[in-house]
Structure formats: C-alpha cells, structure tokens
Amino acid sequence: MSAKVEEQVREEHPLEKILRMDRIPHIWCPTCGLGTTVTALSSALEQLQLDTNKVAVVSGIGCTGRVAGYMKLDSFHTTHGRAVPFAVGLHIARPDLKTIVFSGDGDLISIGGNHFIHTARRNVDMTIICVNNFIYAMTGGQVAPTTPLTAKAATTPYGNAEHPFNLPLLAASSGAVYVARWTALHVRRLTVAIKEAIQKPGFSFVEVIAPCSTLYARINKLGTGLDLMKFYHDNSVIRHGADLNDVDIDFQSKIVVGKFVDIEKPTYIDCLNAGNKRAFGDKYKPYGGGNGDN
C-alpha cells in the first residue's frame, strides 16, 4: 500500500470526540442495547455544549459499569455498588463539575440500594442514569431486585418468585426531583431526558430499559436483542406525570415511559449552607457557589 493511500483521511464518527477510541470496539455483545444509551448520553452532552472538562462520569461494576471507561471525560470505575457514594464525595469536593452516575440496575439498586435512597433523600445534585436490563448481566444472568415476577434468570430457572422494585417510585419517594423512564429505542426522547436531568439542580434519575441479548433474552427465550428492543418499544405507553404506583413492570407486558417527576427542592449543598448560615450568621461563607438563602 502506498504511503499516499495510508494517509487518506480516516473516517471519523461524530462521537469519536467524546469516546476513548483506543478502547473501541467495546466489549458489549451484538444487539446489546448499552451502546445506544452511550450515544444518548454523548448526544446530550454535545447538545448542552458543556465544557467536557467540567463533566465527570462515575460507574460501578457490571456490563453497564463499563461506560465510565469508554467516555473521554474525567471518569471513575468504582467498586460494585459504590458509584453513588463515590459520586457524592466527588460532588461535594468539586461542586463545579456536573456529576453523572451511569450504572446498572444490580449495581445501583441491589448492592448500592442504600446509597441510592439516602443520596436521593439528601437531594445531592447529580444525575443517575440506570440501565435496567432486568438482570445481573456481567456475572452470568443472576436474578436482580429488578427482575420481573415469573421471569427466568440463571438463579431462578423456574421463574422469579419475588416482586421487583418499581424504580421510578423508589426514586421519587426517596426524594428525587427529576424522574423519567425511556427505552433505549426512544433514543431522542432519552437524550432530552438526560439533558433535562443534567441541568436539574438536585438528584435526578433516568431509568433506561435496554435489552440484554446474551443473558436475559436467551434465558427467557425472547429472541435477539433486536427482538427485545422492538418488544420494549412497541409495548411502551407514554404517560408523562403518571401515577408512579402504576408504573410497575411485569414480565413481557406494557412499560409506562415518560417524564414522571420534575420539581424544585433545595439541594444538599443549599441545605448545608442554609443550616450553617442559621447557626453562624454572616461569619459563615457559603460553599459551592450558593448564597445560603434557602
């Protein structure tokens, strides 16, 4: 091959600016929905025109947990279940950064469940993107606290006999100020939701329903990830502001999606400033850019 041909301009996908291309191709299986969710986050960041030096992505362990490693941003791949407490520390030390947690249902809601509810309660300013594939995918398809009743997993070969969490209800009742759910195929609406969540001061939560082809689809004989993607999308009902008691997900039935919660509430740092101002008056200098007036 002549030097001239080799020098030809390499084709560059528009997301190459924000991805660590030395780590692409990613490890995700064919027809896994995770790559699409990364595009949604990347498009949201691009559309918001945020300074990428001011955005940090934190993940835990799992297939979804790999996301932090693929983003060309300040990112941290924490231990299993500890993405949220790491992000809390990061946010408090560097409130000027936009802190985004991108992790799986098992990581955030099972081992990380207590961190999740208490960080929502304190309304710490961060965005949580939780990819719910209804299973612990990375470790071989064990049942998760999000696995629908009767769905099969590697550890429940006769079908799951437990009720799953309703994640939007859990987030909202714990104190989240922004709650939305979309499927990976709703990629434009998902991008809008991620943008709104990032801009929202306080604890915002976006649940993304995405297919796991290799484990959830295979164990439950649901076809490929494309079949599952199609099923989730075609069985979604858009209901903004839905009563969150009605958004449970049953095995292979309708999925209510939409923006459910979008309210204003003082954040953790606002409350901290207000408390210290009450206690110490003008001697206290508000932290993190707020004025302590809440």
Partner 1 sequence: MKFWRTPLDIDKLQIPRGELHILKERCKGCGFCVEYCPKGVLELSDEFNSKGYHPPKAVKPEECVNCDLCELLCPDFAIYCVRAEAGEKEVSN
For binding to Mg ion (CB under 5 A), which residues are involved? 104-106, 133, 137
From the list Mg ion, ligand TPP, partner 1, none, which binds 275 (C-beta under 5 to 8 Å, kind-based)? none
Question: Which of 225, 130, 145 is CA-nearest to residue 185?
Answer: 225
Cβ proximity to partner 1: between 162 and 234 the closer is 234
Q: Compute the CA torsion angle 98, 104, 107, 110 (nearest 10 deg).
A: 120
By CB under 8 A, name the one of 7, 14, 127, 173 that touches partner 1: 14
Q: d(Cα 186, Cα 63) in Å, to the nearest integer?
A: 21
Asked if 205 contacts 58 with a C-beta cutoff of 8 angstroms, the reply is no
| Residue 135 binding ligand TPP, by CB under 6 A | yes
| Residue 33 binding partner 1, by CB under 8 A | yes
| Residue 155 binding ligand TPP, by CB under 6 A | no
Token look-up 């992000």 returns 87
| Residue 65 binding partner 1, by CB under 8 A | no
| Residue 144 binding ligand TPP, by CB under 6 A | yes
| Residue 223 binding partner 1, by CB under 8 A | no
Cβ proximity to ligand TPP: between 80 and 277 the closer is 80
Cβ proximity to ligand TPP: between 106 and 258 the closer is 106
What b/e string do you get for 212-223 counting C-beta neighbours within 10 Å, with b at 16 or more? bbbbbbbbbebb
| Residue 130 binding ligand TPP, by CB under 6 A | no
| Cβ contacts of 213 within 8 Å, gap of 6 or more | 29, 30, 31, 32, 224, 225, 228
From the list Mg ion, ligand SF4, ligand TPP, none, which binds 184 (C-beta under 5 to 8 Å, kind-based)? none
For Cα atoms 61, 67, 72, give the angle at the middle one, nearest 5 degrees: 135
- Binding residues vs ligand TPP (CB under 6 A): 61-64, 80, 103-107, 133, 135-139, 144
